[in-house]
Structure 1
Amino acid sequence: MLSILAFCLLVQLYYVLFVHLKLANTAIEEIPALARKPISVIVCARNEIANLDQFLPTLMTQNYPGFEVVVVNDRSWDGTEEFLEQKAKKYSNLKVVKILDNDKFLAGKKFAVTMGIKASKYDWLVFTDADCVPSSENWLMDMQQSENEETEIILGYSPYSKKRGLLNALIRFETFFTAVNYLSFALKGMPYMGVGRNMAYKKALFFKNKGFAAHMHIPSGDDDLFVNAHANKYNTEIRLHQDSHVWSEPNRTWVAYLKQKKRHFGAGKLYKSKHKFILSLQIIVQFLFYGFFAGCLFLSRDAQYIAGGILLLSIIIRSFIYPKLLKRLNCGDLRWWFPILDILLFLFLTFNGFLGLFSKKKVSWK
């Protein structure tokens, strides 16, 4: 048992020292001073009038000389249509796309995203959600198309707003850890996902690969499955600057959070085999690490001391790296709770995975 525990530590440290440490040590580039090409911002909204009223102005007033905001009204009934009609009169660069209530198109968010892309004028597309707000007016300046013409995808970061309570801390820590993973692997030349609250890619890339046709039957995955299928070490970059983070409103209840995670559960099954392997190995090793540590507590006193030393070594090494990343990714207040949140996140992911085995698939994004 001690040998397995030690092996799990070595695998765990591979991810920490050879993957995540790269993100911690990567220099953050300054935001470009000049705009290069025009941008289309795509936002999908379903009964989001309150969020649009609060956050739409932050999109329309970005410090970027040539851009449009395409808002897709996906069968809303809360007054979103009338609200957007009024805003379109105020903002000349706001384009509204309306999806009618038709059972044929109950295919989740992907259909709405596709309609927004088709309606867009420009080749460089930046994506966010209706309940999101950029950190600054320079968001688009940093998410614009790279000088490198090979770059077709840019992955950004979207933290959740700080609220009171354990649920909020867990949501923010889980979002942080997910971002550390996909941003770090992208830096290593193995991009496997992105988050639709803050990412960008070329319109030409979307249509060249027939959009979401390969996974339209999966409710989620308009962001991560598209990146998983088409990103590579040559065409993908990341953005880390604080001004280009996009803040999101977190779920306020455990039920809503579990519902959100359930919606995302099926997408990972369609990842490329190599990506499923590295992610599954990471979770399995974490599970075995804590499981065998607990098992060692029933062994001799010497074995307990050794197991405790292995656990302490793991915590110490990770405590030199993750607090720095937490601060870099706008979660600095969580660094003091890192060891506890790490265990709680492991327990939650285990519980959520167990629930996912018995969940029924439902095509719904709102």
Structure 2
Amino acid sequence: MSTFLLVFFLLFAAVNLAYFISFFSFASAKTSTLAPAAAPVSVIICAKNEAQNLKAFLPSILEQDHLNYEVILINDASMDETLEVMENFQKNDPRIQIVDVKNIEAFWANKKYALTLGIKRAKNSHLLFTDADCAPQSKSWISEMCKNLQQEKSIVLGYGGYFKNKSSFLNKLIRFETLLTAIQYFSYAKMGIPYMGVGRNLAYTSELFYQQSGFASHLHLRSGDDDLFVNEAANSSNTAICDQPAAFTRSVPKDSFNAWIKQKRRHVSTAKNYQKKHKLLLAFFYFSQILFWTLTLSLLFTENWQISTSILGVVLLVKAVLYYKSADRLDEKDVVWLFPILELFLVFAQLGIFIANIFSKPTHWK
């Protein structure tokens, strides 16, 4: 029996190792040297009950050094003071345009409907998206992200990280999961297989949006205004990545495991609508992860423990280099030292999320 387990362990260790070696396509890639863009940009922020976050983070949007941009603020049927906060900012800054969305029966609480109205209001063809709880990490965020909308590129995948709390295990777990997700979507984009982006930091052209008929193909789904749109519209020639530190955004992370699990359940439920080839790549990666760790733990209690431990050491070494190089690029190095624990915890947390989604539907846009 232990020999049987060892064979499967070696198989899935090899598969897992192959995935992580392929991720060096991002970790070892050269950073773009394009000059910052000067084309006019429309920054689009959809907010639902985000009055306090707008007060805290909208100033960092309005302080950008880009010479020509407008800010489209979408009030998505908020029940707090979101609209009032937007109007107060607008009084002092003519670059702000407000789209006040009212709930209608056909599109009740549908963020994609609200975003569509905001995109239609935009006067510029370069669209840059972020969330109300996000803060650009430099004043050149707009210029750095949108400089990549050149040379036939119509989608730019940016990095949307989370604010750091060095004393919190949950904070490290959230940022590690965000790092691993970024490694994947940046790497696949580098390999010519772009499959997703995050709405916390994403740019594309209005021409592409209208060519794709917007969110029409998945408008019935509450989630996926970012990743499903990219999954449908992106290809090997029209997609660029932006990993310049000046182009990062950071958001407020969840402060409880329950809230984080609910968020991840929404994300996982959307992924089932990806293109088949993307679903297969992602599913096989996850299965290689969970089987690698499960078989590793099982073989530690057999006569083959020395072989499994040696293979584990090799795999962890490759992963350590990959995580360190990627975290160095994305300013997340403090999570690297805990990666075996964080990865193991994340793998089995995701298993629980998959099982939970089978038996009940996750909640979506607020």
TM class, shorter-length: over 0.9
- 1:329 shift after superposition: 1.0
Q: Aligned with 2:23: secondary structure?
A: helix
Contact 1:124 1:145 in 2 (8 A): no
Structure 1 SS opposite 2:175: helix
* 1:138 corresponding residue in structure 2: 140
The answer to whether the Cα contact below 8 Å between 1:109 and 1:219 also exists between their aligned partners in 2 is yes
Large movers: runs of 4+ above 4 Å = none
Residue 186 of structure 1 aligns with which residue?
189
1:203-214 alignment runs, 5 A limit: 203-214=206-217
Contact 1:51 1:131 in 2 (8 A): yes
Count of residues in Structure 1 that have an aligned counterpart in Structure 2: 361
The code of the aligned residue for 1:15 comes to Y
Inter-partner Cα distance in structure 2 for 1:24 and 1:85:
43
CA contact (8 A) 1:72 1:96 kept: yes
The question of whether the paired residues in 2 share the 8 Å contact of 1:218 and 1:266 is answered with no
Kindly state the Cα deviation for residue 217 of structure 1 after the two structures are TM-superposed.
1.7
Deviation, 1:354, is 1.5
Structure 1: 5+ residue runs without aligned partners? none
Higher mean alpha-carbon deviation, 5-14 vs 45-54, is at: 5-14
Cα distance, 1:28 vs. partner?
1.7
> Where does residue 17 of structure 2 map in the other structure?
13
Q: Once the 2 structures are TM-superposed, how far is the Cα of residue 108 of structure 1 from its aligned partner?
A: 2.3
* Offset of residue 101 of structure 1: 3.3
The C-alpha deviation readout for 1:206-245, integer Å capped at 9, x for no partner, is 1111111111121110000000001011000000110100
2 CA distance for matches of 1:229 and 1:108?
A: 19
Mapped contact 1:263–1:365 kept (Cα < 8 A): no
Say if 1:168 and 1:146 are closer, same or farther in 2 by CA, change over 3 A: closer
Which ranges of structure 2 fall in alignment gaps of 5 or more residues? none
Identity of aligned residues (%): 39
Asked if 1:235 is matched to 2:265, the reply is: no
Q: In the alignment, is residue 196 of structure 1 matched against residue 199 of structure 2?
A: yes
Check if 1:221 corresponds to 2:224: yes
TM-score (norm 2): 0.95
CA distance in 2, matches of 1:229, 1:80: 32
TM-score, length of structure 1 as denominator length = 0.95
Other structure's SS at 2:103 match: coil
**Which residue of structure 2 aligns with residue 356 of structure 1?**
357
Which residue of structure 2 lines up, in the alignment, with residue 156 of structure 1? Answer: 158
Q: Specify the alignment match of 1:55 in structure 2.
A: 57
Distance 1:101 1:296 in 2: 56
Give the alignment of 1:252-331 within 5 angstroms.
252-300=255-303, 303-331=304-332
Question: What CA distance in whole angstroms lies between the structure 2 residues aligned with 1:87 and 1:292?
Answer: 56
In the other structure, the counterpart of 1:95 is: 97
Q: C-alpha deviations, 1:59-83, integer Å up to 9, x for none?
A: 1111111100001001112111112
Contact 1:31 1:241 in 2 (8 A): no
Question: Take 1:199 and 1:79, find their aligned partners in 2: how far apart are those partners?
Answer: 26
Alpha-carbon deviation of 1:127? 0.3
Alpha-carbon spacing, 1:358–1:57, altered in 2? closer, same or farther (3 Å): same
SS at match of 2:45: strand
